[in-house]
Structure 1
Amino acid sequence: MKDKKIFELEYVLKTSPKVLDNVLFTQSGLADWFCDDVNIKDDIYSFEWDGYIEQARLLSLKKGQAIKWQWIEDEEEGIDTYFGFRYHIDPLTNAVILTISGSAAEEDIKEAKALWEQHVSDLRRLIGA
């Protein structure tokens, strides 16, 4: 069993909460930027990338605020990790501050962060932020 560390990345997005809610909290929204396809059954999300499917259990969902999952593989191995998104509105600028939480083994954190950077680039393109 590999130990994993939680890391956070923060992004300023010039968009509305309504637009962000759609891309973070809906099946079709997630498939537009995070993965190729996603299927949801009960609290299990099946994310697909290039024909590879990875499943995650929904841990918490607060529409308009945050969503958090745990990879089933980590759950089965007893690794206490999660990944997810949360956001808030900066009161001074009215910009949306998106925080992404991820986890990776120490030696894989740089690569994991680079992957999230690519996902956020896709997200920005999608929402015009």
Structure 2
Amino acid sequence: MSKKQLFTLEFPVRCSPTILYEFLASPAGLQEWFADKVDEWENVYSFSWNGGTPDKADVLDKEQDKFIRFHWQHSDKNEYFEFKIEKTEISNQTILVIKDFAEKNEIKDQSQLWGYQVKELFHRLGA
């Protein structure tokens, strides 16, 4: 059994949920900020970095303009990473919520890595 823990990060985004969802759920969008090359075939995404061997992730669940949840094929069956789009009630601001798993002593590093990735996403979005 995995010792990894679920952690959640939230990032306010100045962009519509529809546009943001395209960057989170389509191979072309993910290739803009998340991985060097992204392919999808029958709900299995293949992510490559620096020309290396692709990592494959299954889509566990998704809802247009709301969220997409992936499971790395090489990881524990209870682990996943998720991109969720929420709207705040008062200001109607769009929030990107990322859920992922990491060893307790690696959560800080993983959070920093996600922060870097999201910064690249915001750059691509012009947000």
1:3-42 correspondence to structure 2 within 5 Å: 3-42=3-42
**Alignment partner, residue 69 of structure 2:** 68
Runs (4+) of structure 1 exceeding 3 A deviation are none
Deviates more, 1:9-18 or 1:84-93: 84-93
What aligned pairs does 1:22-101 form with structure 2 within 5 A after superposition?
Answer: 22-52=22-52, 53-74=54-75, 78-101=76-99
TM-score normalised by L of structure 2: 0.92
Looking at structure 2, the residues matched to 21 and 85 of structure 1 have their Cα atoms a distance apart, in angstroms, of: 9
Which of 95, 105, 113 is equivalent to 2:111? 113
Paired residues of 2:12 and 2:94 also in contact (CA < 8 A): yes
User: When the two structures are aligned, how many residues end up with a matched partner?
Assistant: 126
Contact 1:36 1:47 in 2 (8 A): yes
Deviations 1:32-54 (A, max 9, x none): 01111111111211111112321
Structure 1: where are the runs of 5+ without partners? Answer: none
- CA contact under 8 A between 2:21 and 2:67: conserved in structure 1? no
Structure 1 residue 27 displacement after superposition: 1.0
**Identity among equivalent pairs (%):** 32
Cα RMSD after superposing both structures: 1.3
C-alpha contact 1:3 1:79 (8 A) present in aligned 2: no
Q: Deviations over 1:6-46 (max 9, x none)?
A: 10000111111221122112110010011111111112111
Structure 2 SS opposite 1:73: coil
Q: Aligned partners of 1:79 and 1:41: how far apart in 2?
A: 20
* TM-score (norm. length: structure 1): 0.91
The 8 Å contact of residues 17 and 66 in structure 2, kept in 1 or not, is answered as no
Unaligned residue ranges in structure 2 (runs of 5+): none
